[in-house]
Chains A and B, each alone.
Chain A
Amino acid sequence: MADVTIRTLTRAARFSVRCGEADRTAAAEALGVPLIGTIGAIAVAGPRRSLCLGPDEWIVAAPLEDGPAMTAAFAASPAVGSLVEVTNRDVTFAITGPGGEELLAHGCPRDLSKLAPGRGVRTVFDGVSVVLWRFDDRFEMTVWRSYVPFVEALLSAAAREMQAA
């Protein structure tokens, strides 16, 4: 039986960042976390982190109380781009334990053994677009709030099935 635990994380400040290559460094400076230009790359700076989702798109997460200062810093920065706060749109689940990959395989068609710790992706979980971060000890899966009851039910049913196996 593969052990797995699912819990809902407390709210974090979250931003969707879009900008071109020319503005990437300035945008990162304003937000206080590097924005790496390779899809799937995670950058960490203290409690803040970023994940590159597309050629000109990142998701940035930070402690809730850092949000307003980050918005202000981006507005004051010379970086041309868009910063959209999505704090209230997103709910994040942490999935820990050796059964994490197997649990997520119930809804995610990707081969998650190929997603190395320290990398992340936007992918799909049973039809729902999700952002998946992989760290040494856990996965974090971010879901739009309105999908949470569905995703949560599916995760717990899958965990029960794994328990029963």
Chain B
Amino acid sequence: MILIHCPYCDETLPEAEFTYAGEAHVVRPDPSVSDETWRDFLYIRSNPKGPHAERWRHAHGCGRYFNAIRDTVSDRVLTTYKAGESKPVLPGDVK
């Protein structure tokens, strides 16, 4: 089972209390953009092999949405941070 640190409860808790909510930091473009840009906003995701910024909700807990960096290879959650905070720089990130 994945263990996830909820940044609001400040506790590391079992995945069963959380729900996954897709890739984080996907910014909604202005509706006047081209169809291609709108399609990419709706459907195209980065799908990396390695650290992935994603949204989670502590559904059976405090109820908050927050962001996590999860390594898609090891399934390890490297860090979590509150909604609205910017994506943290991890060791090994390309600057």
Q: CA of A107 to CA of B16 in the docked complex: distance in angstroms? A: 11
Quick check: is B22 within 8 A (CB to CB) of the other chain? no
Contact across chains for B13 and A110 when beta carbons are under 8 A apart = yes
Chain B residues within CB distance 8 Å of chain A: 1, 8-10, 13-14, 16-17, 59-64
**Chain A: interface secondary structure?**
strand
Q: How many residues of A contact B (CB 8 A)?
A: 13
Quick check: is A141 within 8 A (CB to CB) of the other chain? no
Q: CA of A25 to CA of B4 in the docked complex: distance in angstroms? A: 32
Contact across chains for B17 and A124 when beta carbons are under 8 A apart = yes
Contact across chains for B8 and A124 when beta carbons are under 8 A apart = no
Quick check: is A98 within 8 A (CB to CB) of the other chain? no
Contact across chains for A53 and B63 when beta carbons are under 8 A apart = yes
Query: B residues within 8 A CB of A123?
Result: 17, 60-61
Query: A residues within 8 A CB of B8?
Result: 39, 54-55
Contact across chains for A53 and B17 when beta carbons are under 8 A apart = no
For the complex formed, measure the closest distance between the CB of B95 and the CB atoms of chain A, giving whole angstroms.
Answer: 33
- Assuming the contacts A110-B17, A123-B17, asked whether A39 and B60 have C-beta atoms less than 8 A apart, the reply is no
For the complex formed, measure the closest distance between the CB of A79 and the CB atoms of chain B, giving whole angstroms.
Answer: 21
Nearest CB to that of B58 among chain A residues? A54
Mask of A52-72 contacts with B, CB within 8 angstroms, 1/0:
011101000000000000000
Q: CA of A55 to CA of B60 in the docked complex: distance in angstroms? A: 14
For the complex formed, measure the closest distance between the CB of A38 and the CB atoms of chain B, giving whole angstroms.
Answer: 9
Residues of A2-46 contacting chain B, CB below 8 A: 39-40
Query: B residues within 8 A CB of A95?
Result: none
Contact across chains for A109 and B9 when beta carbons are under 8 A apart = no
Extra 10 A-B pairs, beta carbons < 8 Å, given A39-B9, A55-B8, A129-B60: A39-B62, A54-B64, A55-B62, A109-B1, A109-B16, A109-B17, A110-B13, A123-B17, A123-B60, A124-B60
Quick check: is A122 within 8 A (CB to CB) of the other chain? yes
Quick check: is A121 within 8 A (CB to CB) of the other chain? yes
Query: B residues within 8 A CB of A54?
Result: 8, 61-64
